[in-house]
Amino acid sequence: MAKKTIQDVDVTGKRVLVRVDFNVPQDENGNITDDTRIRAALPTIQYLVDHAARAILVSHLGRPKGVDEKLRVDPVAARLQELLGRPVRKASDVIGPAVAQQAAALKEGDVLLLENVRFYKEEEKNDPEFARQLASLADLYVNDAFGTAHRAHASTEGVAHLLPAVAGFLMGKEIEYLGRALANPERPFVAVLGGAKVADKIGVIENLLGKVDSLLIGGAMAFTFIKAQGGEIGKTLLDADSLDVARETLEKAKARGVQLILPTDALAADRIDASANTRVVPAGQIPDGWAAVDIGPEAARQFAAVVSGAKTVVWNGPMGIFEVPPFAEGTRVVARALAEANALTIVGGGDSVAAIEELGVADRISHVSTGGGASLEFLEGKVLPGIAALEEK
């Protein structure tokens, strides 16, 4: 899936509409608490500035129902200006005569940030007229918001049919790394999946079963598989509707010669609390009234050994209730193994990314995906509208 990127087109002097993902967390006073997503877009914006383009940035922030004063993008514009070290103008709207005037007045190297695009319900409806008005501001469209690529919205998909449309550096990197892992992985290819529910990951599991050599399953969802095999899981979170799917998946893995590995042991706790009583038990023997809150030390060692021997690893989802520190060791062990592996390593999903960042090993991972939902759908083999609409190389 080779898509044109910003380097394949001439941007000099052009007005370039860039879809970025500036949906950053804020505190109750509107202060940005994590600017990772703004930083992730800097290479694309800087490239446009350096090549004398006129950059018009558009993003959503939160989930407003109409105009919401608390979700205006002014704090984002201020933070971007600090990071870029140059003025960032802020439009008071997304479309309309005043915005068109501001866009037309931009000089080479200028940066303009439009207001929150989701103030308009037409954005999520992918309204053709709204997309047309947005596209009319520019000569070229760049999508650098992988985190929204699975949404067919006006600013992610609609405008891409109205202007020459290419990928930014961040989007290009996501397509390259995830595409390489799925289409042409160096083997052994290992996938590590965690999280709560089998239902959330079943599409990913089914797609990966046809591609991987080993599939390691941790998190609460592992215990739905263990229950499906007749294990006792106490009061561990159970995805009861997925028991049949779990059995079928185990059979499919066996038939395809894929090594599907479940935890052999688990850390059990009598309550979900940092001060809970805990004990390590066999994974299929969780005591009544107790819950599995992490994979056990033996399972963590086994998972780490498989990861260490891999040449391509994809990881999505924690091994336990990672946000409670005593229940985070399994996730930490897998994260360290990934960082030390002599392999192409890809991490996606908020909790997995948080784990590698907390451990300080993010810079030792080949690619950290910025899109939770989008990376999951990519791994499922789904067509992402925001990517499909971009021009082929």
381: left (phi over 0), alpha (psi -120 to 50) or beta: left
Query: Which DSSP state fits 307?
Result: H
Cα gap 373→81, rounded to integer Å: 29
Show the tokens assigned to 17: 């509409």
296: closest CA among 267, 270, 325, 331? 267
User: Which one of the listed residues 109, 231, 373, 381 is annotated catalytic?
Assistant: 373
The answer to whether residue 372 is catalytic is no
Query: What is the DSSP annotation of 61-118?
Result: -S--SS--GGG-SHHHHHHHHHHHTS--EE-SSSSSHHHHHHHHTPPTT-EEE---GG
User: Which one of the listed residues 30, 62, 289, 350 is annotated catalytic?
Assistant: 350
Q: CB–CB of 224/246 below 8 Å?
A: yes
369: closest CA among 381, 385, 383, 356? 356
User: Which one of the listed residues 14, 37, 54, 173 is annotated catalytic?
Assistant: 37
Amino acid, single-letter form, for residue 345: T
344: closest CA among 205, 217, 177, 182? 177
User: Which one of the listed residues 197, 235, 311, 364 is annotated catalytic?
Assistant: 197
The answer to whether residue 301 is catalytic is no
Give 172's contacts (C-beta < 8 A, 6+ positions apart): 3, 5, 6
The answer to whether residue 72 is catalytic is no
Query: What is the DSSP annotation of 252-263?
Result: HHHHHT-EEE--
The answer to whether residue 373 is catalytic is yes
Query: What is the DSSP annotation of 199-253?
Result: HHHHHHHHHHHTT-SEEEE-TTHHHHHHHHTT-EETTS---GGGHHHHHHHHHHH
What is the edge-to-edge ordering of all strands in the sheet holding 291-295? 278-282, 265-269, 291-295
Query: 368-393: buried (b, 16+ CB within 10 Å) or exposed (e) per residue?
Result: bbbbbbbbbbbbbeeebbbbebbeee
Cα gap 199→197, rounded to integer Å: 5
Cα gap 58→23, rounded to integer Å: 11
Q: If you search the block for the tokens 């350096």, which residue do you land on?
A: 50
**Max Cα distance, the chain (Å):** 69
Which are the catalytic amino acids? 37, 197, 350, 373
